[in-house]
Chains A and B, each alone.
Chain A
Amino acid sequence: MVQKQYIVCDPDKCVGCGECELACSMAHHKNFDPMVARIRTVRIEPIVMLAVACRMCEDPPCVLACPRDALSQDVDTGVIHVDTDKCDGCGWCIEACDFGAIVLNPESKVVEICDLCADYDEPQCVKFCCKEALSLSTPAVVAQQSRRKVVKKLLQELLES
């Protein structure tokens, strides 16, 4: 069975540099333009930093919200596809997305959503994230890492006490 993968950001490692936004725009538009980046950095100064991209939800609200059936989800990968002929940029999907992971391209007037860099051998945001805060991961691996982290922390506390 194919496990869906998505871009995960570790807030402890993210420094808020925004290089992922520029890498995304480079990959999809051959320019530097955070306005059309499908991953965006959130900085809550002074120290909370996190990059957010599509979570590839089950029963994605964006797909449900689209009145023109322009959005569809790939059953295997979970990636949301945008039919650019049908999309007219109304933005309902943007409002429906809890993560703010959908952008409206001001030039083409259609929405863009992370496709894990379908045209490249790896997502470019991950490649350009030198802090290794970003990774392409599956829910199972994310859970593994969380377990490892929490157990480590508990053991540390036990050892210290």
Chain B
Amino acid sequence: MHAFWGKILHIDLTNQKTWIEQKDEEFYKKYIGGVMMATRLVYDNLPKGADALSPENPLCFATSAFAGTLVPVGNKHSVAAKSPLTGFIGDCLASSYFSAAIRRAGYDGIVITGRAEKPTYILIDDDKITFRDASHLWGMETFETEEAIRAELGDESFRSCTIGPAGERLVRLANITNDRGRQAGRTGLGAVMGSKNLKAVTIRGTKPVEVADIDALCEMTLALAKEAQGTKTVKYRTIGTPANVLAFQRLGVLPTRNYQDSVFEGAEKISGEYMAEHYTEKAVACFGCPIACEQVAHVKEGPYAGARTSVDYESLFALSSNCGVDYLPGAIEAIHRCDRYGMDTMSTGVTISWAMECFQRGVLTKEDFGGLEPYWGNHEAVAELVRMIAFREGIGDLLAEGTKRAAAKVGKGSDHWAINVKGLECSGHDLRGLKTFALGAAVGTRGPCHNRSLAYEPDTKGQVDRLKAEPSRGALAKEKEEFAAVFDMVMLCKFLRGCFQDIYEEIPKLFTLTTGIEMTPDDLRKAAERCINLKKAFNIREGWKKEDDWLPPRFLKDPIKDGASKGSVVKPEELRMMIDAYYEARGWTPEGLIPKEKLIELGLDDIAEELGV
């Protein structure tokens, strides 16, 4: 076996102990890497039912075959734990140097359990692991922390995952940041780190990465990298994902004012095209990426002069159109704050827009907001609320819990506009106008996620009638979920997906040339199915109920008011029908549970014993 070391590093923060768990080739054959490997580590290391913010919740990192290699966009790591936001699997991934650092330090995964007595950071210097005092770093922002650690260790090769003030305060929207501005963004994993008193994980790896057939691998990767300079990635390279603003506006699915509207009158002014013309300085790349999608926006004058961060569509919709904001510098500032404080821009934006709708409807008042008036479009209030959430100040303490918990606390019907599934806030897609994705979002194991389910693609690309619900969407959602799972397991960036002819043919080749482990197209298909079933099994073990696969009331009751999707709504009976079809396509019971035989067929025998029906 090449590339993989067969080693998982365990770190117990409570007792300051570390040990190595050996894994054989079978483990990598079955769990591949990335989110599947990380999920398996969580499954095995979390005592059933343990609270997400308890010391028992294992924070699990996993690399993949391609970490540290030249395989384009293959330098990604996964982080997973039980999510403080959903109580289900929180499986994230992030790009750049950190994954290569784990690999080069000699590990395939890291499992961190327990809770340090005082603020601590873990220093992994190849084989040497130390627990270092982080009192002087506590309170620092994410980018700042990373630089401070590098400065005190005196070598640029140290790569860190950090949390900011939000993670320290157990904000359930907090994320984990690495390599400046790369984030394991969703499901609140920053709070898991915070609950462990863990400010950062810092790694220096100096071991060379050996692969099975370097010449053949390089030949194949060069062809892919060249392909990645062509039309298939032109959107990412030039405007970046903010190009979606106008594309979604045309489809009438651009979430606006907390999903009350699906067309935004200010769309032009927050569009990717407008940003590219006025604010984008340069597109930069993650380590090992020949695409370079990261559009760094810089505000040079006006009230937000100095705001400077990379802007993608999901961050943008959440903190602009969805808050009614048509002033791009305001959105850039809000995104920059989220990045610095270490918070998920998506969940933060959607939680703020929930609060703004509460204000619109008089459910929360100016007094509740400590004097702020968060009317639609008030970008100053949005930026201030980002800060208040990060520091749990005033109403920020309520909003730091996310829409589901905040709505439960505030009541007065505010759950109607709490736009989340399983507690995770929705993405920048109005699901009423994208019905295949409405299904994908309802059943997603980590909540409604465009990264875990590419079911929006047939809708936005016009391959199906996006305003229609039909049973065939069940199999389609399954297929698109597994397509995404392939990328999330082997950990290639999905922005490369258009550069393959057939992922099930080409990716096994890349995998085998790298690791020497045989993999057929069927092996990969089966692995993708295993990945989804494993995550679902974890959720079932942690208390998943059938009603958790559902959509927020707004999408089921309020038809889209205007634009190309006008009148569309996901009727409850339509959603039920599609979910039933999805369960059937998966080979699950009508109750959404996994039969024993299915789990055994996927090689998850131990889980079949525990949970199979």
Contacts and interface: CB of A to CB of B under 8 A. Distances in A.
Interface of A: 15-19, 22-23, 25-26, 29-33, 35-36, 45-47, 49, 106, 127-128, 130-131
Given A15-B283, A19-B225, A26-B214, A45 B70 contact: no
B284 A49 contact: yes
B208 A23 contact: no
Given A17-B292, A26-B218, A35 B208 contact: yes
Contacts of A130: 225-226, 228-229, 290
Contacts of A17: 285-290, 292
Residue with the greatest number of chain A CB neighbours at <10 A, chosen from B211, B282, B283, B310 = B282
B69 interface: yes
A16 B288 CA distance: 9
A29 B210 CA distance: 10
B272 interface: no
B290 A32 contact: no
A18 B288 contact: yes
Contact of A47 (B68, B104, B288, B296): B296
A81 B289 CA distance: 32
**Which secondary structure dominates chain B's binding surface?**
loop
B571 to A, nearest CB: 46
B210 A31 contact: yes
**In the A-B complex, the 8 residue pairs with the closest CB atoms:** A33-B208, A15-B292, A15-B285, A17-B285, A130-B290, A32-B209, A31-B208, A22-B70
5 contacts: A33-B209, A36-B208, A46-B181, A46-B309, A128-B70
B208 A19 contact: no
Nearest to B221: A128
Given A23-B70, A45-B143, 19 more contacts: A15-B284, A16-B285, A17-B286, A17-B288, A17-B289, A17-B292, A19-B288, A22-B69, A22-B70, A22-B288, A31-B210, A32-B209, A45-B180, A46-B309, A47-B282, A47-B284, A128-B70, A130-B225, A130-B226
Nearest to B146: A45
B281 interface: yes
Given A16-B285, A17-B288, A17-B290, A46 B310 contact: yes
B260 interface: no
Interface in B41-83: 68-70, 72
A46 B308 contact: yes
B222 interface: yes
Contact of A32 (B181, B211, B282, B296): B211
A64 B341 CA distance: 50
B520 interface: no
Given A46-B180, A46-B296, A130-B229, A32 B285 contact: no
Nearest to A46: B296
Contacts of A128: 70, 218, 222, 225
Q: Contact size class for B?
A: 35 or more
B70 A32 contact: yes
B206 interface: yes
Given A26-B214, A29-B208, A31-B209, A46 B284 contact: yes
B227 to A, nearest CB: 9
B1 to A, nearest CB: 15
B100 to A, nearest CB: 8
Contacts of A23: 70, 218
Contacts of B214: 26, 30-31
Contacts of B283: 15
A47 B281 CA distance: 8
A29 B72 CA distance: 20
A85 B198 CA distance: 48
Given A26-B218, A130-B226, A19 B210 contact: no
Interface string B285-316: 11111101000100000000000111000000
Interface string B187-208: 0000000000000000000111
Contacts of A45: 143, 180-181
Nearest to B290: A130
Nearest to B281: A47
B296 to A, nearest CB: 5
B538 to A, nearest CB: 33
Contacts of A32: 68-70, 208-209, 211
Nearest to B181: A46
Contacts of B207: 33
Contacts of A18: 287-288
A106 B204 CA distance: 15
A128 B104 CA distance: 22
A43 B549 CA distance: 44
Contacts of A131: 229, 290, 292
A35 B206 contact: yes
Contacts of B296: 46-47
Nearest to B226: A130
A28 to B, nearest CB: 11
Contacts of B68: 32
A16 B289 CA distance: 9
B293 to A, nearest CB: 10
Contacts of B290: 17, 19, 130-131
Contacts of A22: 69-70, 288
Contact of A19 (B70, B206, B229, B308): B70
A119 B281 CA distance: 39
A25 B218 CA distance: 12
A127 B206 contact: no
B203 to A, nearest CB: 14
A131 to B, nearest CB: 7
A36 B222 CA distance: 21
B577 to A, nearest CB: 46
Nearest to A23: B70
A32 B282 CA distance: 28
A131 B284 CA distance: 11
Contacts of B286: 17
A49 B292 CA distance: 12
B206 A106 contact: yes
A14 B218 CA distance: 20
A23 B180 CA distance: 24
Nearest to A29: B208
A127 B222 contact: yes
B506 to A, nearest CB: 18
A21 to B, nearest CB: 9
Contacts of A49: 284
A23 to B, nearest CB: 7
Interface string B72-111: 1000000000000000000000000000000010000000
A46 B146 CA distance: 14
